Amino acid sequence: MSNGSFPPSPGRRSGTLAVVLTALVPVCLAGWLIWDSMGDPKSGGGTSSLPTADSTSIAPPASGGPSGGATGHPKDDSGRPLTGKVVVIDPGHNPHNRDHPSAIARSVDIGTAKKECDTTGTATNSGYSEASFTLDVSRRVRTLLQDRGAKVVFTQDGDRAYGPCVDERAEIGNKAHADAAVSVHADGAAAGQRGFHVILPASVRGGGADTSAITGPSHRLGTRLVTEFSEATGAKPANYMGDGTGLKVRDDLGGLNLSTVPKVFIECGNMRDSKDAAQLTDAAWRERAARGIAQGITDFLNR
């Protein structure tokens, strides 16, 4: 049954399709342009995502290396205030000195006199030796100073048969052209005598000794150490010497007399007093002592 209509011929179908496409092309093009101007909503941009000739190139990394800086300068050393500085740390005595009594007993020239090469040092009543104490504190100081950029030179690290002798200890600092040198010790005074003190070089000249150039800077180094050591440890200056200042000048120590660089000794406490000994044998206290020494040196070198 027919409704009076007939299917279009092939020719008519082609013409109709051409007309439809002609009408749709401008509409699609206009829609694409509007979408492109709005940008990809995921990227948040308003620029076409189609690649350009340069869009696939990778920008070179910012200069400045691991610090991430873009200036081309070396790593920022603001957290390493001792970069370029040389510090000599002299751990007093040597754990092996006791095995070489004749070697450490021989005399050496300290410029103004003769003195024994070295000694065994003192010890607490329980047998904790000064030589063990000085090595432990000195190693802690070394770590702190190296973290701040300093080059740290030891006079001995428990790796020698004995010594070195006091004249060689001074010479190690001189040859290193140290900006500062500190000899770490603990005292062996009578019980009841408590506290720490810093020994400064006296003004001496004679034989191979001439401290005229280092007494001033050594005094400044010593003063910084007293302040920072006391603050770090809570210890008070010695009650048996130095009139409460924590400073003592001596002219009989070869390690000071023969030094040509700023140098001091620090006696961190009295090993023969039970209260001081309780601190000296405590690892946490020794860490605080090391921090005080390291900060005193840092203050001096950054003056």
Range of the domain at 276: 86-301
Q: What's the total number of domains in the chain?
A: 1
Could you give the residue numbers annotated as active site?
267
Q: Confirm whether 62 is domain-assigned.
A: no
Name the band, by pLDDT with cuts 50, 70 and 90, for residue 31. Answer: very low
Continuous H helices in 2-156: 10-38, 101-105, 130-147
Question: What is the reported pTM?
Answer: 0.75
| Gyration radius from the chain CA atoms | 38
Determine the pLDDT at residue 79: 82
Lowest model confidence (mean pLDDT) among 55-64, 146-155, 246-255: 55-64
Q: Confirm whether 144 is domain-assigned.
A: yes
| Residue the block writes with tokens 């004249």 | 167
Amino acid at 276: D
Name the band, by pLDDT with cuts 50, 70 and 90, for residue 99. Answer: very high
Average pLDDT over residues 214-237: 98
Q: Tell me the DSSP string of 34-58.
A: HHHHH--TTTT-SS--S--SSTTPP
pLDDT tens, position by position, 158-212: 999 999 999 999 999 999 999 999 999 999 999 999 999 999 999 999 888 999 9
Name the band, by pLDDT with cuts 50, 70 and 90, for residue 303. Answer: confident
Q: Confirm whether 152 is domain-assigned.
A: yes
Domain at 206, CATH number = 3.40.630.40
130 φ, ψ (degrees, to nearest 5): -60, -40
Q: Choose between 35 and 214: higher pLDDT.
A: 214
